[in-house]
Amino acid sequence: MTFKVDFIKHHRLWFILSAIFTVVALFGIFVRGLNYGIDFTGGTQFQLKFSHSITVAAVDRVLTDQHIGQSQVVFVGSAHREVQITTPTISEQQRNQVLAKMKAVAPFQEISTNRVSAVIGKQTERAALIAVLIATGAIILYIAIRFEFRFALAGIIALLLDVIMTVGAVALIHVVLTTYFIMAVLTIFGYSMNDRIIVFDRIRENLHKQRKNEPLQEVVNRSLNQVLMRSINTSTTVMLALGALLVFGGSTIRDFSLTMLIGVFIGTFTSLFIASPVWMLWRLRDDARRKASPRPVRAD
């Protein structure tokens, strides 16, 4: 099977499309806001498993009686037996009081308690951010040496879009952010870069084989069509695996898989439709400039 898709002709459409998505994503991030979990905000979270199904109202009443009414109570699973209670940071004594009173609702088992000061998540986030910035610099350097500088920047622009769109989607769906979210973004970062290199490698190879007078558009289009099969196969495979983790994995890895799934999809899209056209337009512009101002003739 060979493809003949014209990726380049409609590049304006792809750019507009991703601009819209980026705006929506930025709206998600800044207006709707990220749903920071206690890893970032600090607080106490515990999960209880009751002996029979209960109502959120009953749990809420106990919490309000203990003056921690601003807590969140959500069910885990479908049986309405397991609840996750998120409260602001409370002392151990307060927590024990709450648990003692909670026995009135129904007998329960304590499954997990997570108590975090806001410092931890923020620091993980900052350390990861600094590491990513340095890694980005290193990647730009590597691609500039092995390929050319324009590839490096086109790749990083597309990478930035990936991250913004993924984080935006996460904000819109309102997934609760834990430190695992940082891992998911890092993984997407790695996956997208990987995807981009494969595409760029093809363009680089075809540039060497470029016939005289063959327009650059042709070369890029041919390259993209050649890697299309591989792109589809690889992302389908990875998405199948992530889908399985999403559906069958436990609650702990569900949000992680969902974030990854969104990111892999977006990453595949931007590799094909954004990174390469950006590189091409840039290169065409540079070529046109070079032609317009020929090298000054040396007067000797």
Partner 1 sequence: MRQRSILALVALVAVLIVAGGYFSVINPITRHLKYGLDLRGGITATYQAEPTPQAPVNAQSMAKAMQILSFRVNKLGVSEPVIQEVGNSRIAVNLAGVKNPEQALRFLGQTALLQIKSPTGKVLVTGADLSSAEGEISQGQYVVALSFNSKGAVLFKQATTKYLGQQLPIYLNGKLVEAPKVDTIIPNGQAELSGGFATLKQAQQTALLLQSGALPVKLVVLASNTVSATLGHQAVVASKRAAAIAIALIALAMIFWYRLAGLLADIALGVYAFLLLGSLWAVHAVITIPGIAGIILSMGMAVDANVIIFSRVREEMVSGKTPRAAIEVGFRNAIRAIMDSNATTFISAIILFFMGSGDVKGFALTLMIGIVISLFTAVFLTRQFIRLAADAGWARVRAIFVG
Q: Is the dihedral of CA 206, 208, 214, 215 positive or negative?
A: positive
Rg of the Cα trace of the chain? Answer: 25
Q: Which residue has the tokens 């792109």?
A: 231
Among 17, 120, 157, 172, binds partner 1 (CB under 8 A): 120
Fill in the amino acid letter for 187: T
Site for partner 1 in 251-280 (CB under 8 A): 251-253, 256, 260
Residue 79 is encoded by which pair of tokens? Answer: 């049986």
Tell me how far, at minimum, the Cβ of 175 lies from partner 1, in Å. 15
Among 94, 114, 217, 225, binds partner 1 (CB under 8 A): 114
The span of 7-15, 17-25, 241-249, 269-277 binding partner 1 (CB under 8 A) equals 241-249
Among 13, 52, 249, 290, binds partner 1 (CB under 8 A): 249
Say how far residue 50 (Cα) sits from the centre of its chain. Answer: 35
Ranges of H-type helices in the chain: 11-27, 38-41, 56-65, 92-102, 118-146, 149-173, 179-208, 216-248, 251-270, 276-292
Site string for partner 1, 6-35 (x = CB under 8 A): ------------------------------
Tell me how far, at minimum, the Cβ of 150 lies from partner 1, in Å. 16
The span of 5-13, 169-177, 227-235, 276-284 binding partner 1 (CB under 8 A) equals 227-235
Q: Does 3 bind partner 1 (CB under 8 A)?
A: no
Q: How far apart are CA 282 and CA 292, in angstroms?
A: 15
Which one-letter DSSP state was computed for residue 51? Answer: S
Residue 166 CB-half CA count within 13 A: 33
**CB closer to partner 1 out of 32 and 230:** 230
**CB closer to partner 1 out of 59 and 116:** 116
The span of 17-25, 175-183, 211-219, 283-291 binding partner 1 (CB under 8 A) equals 175-183
Q: Does 128 bind partner 1 (CB under 8 A)?
A: yes
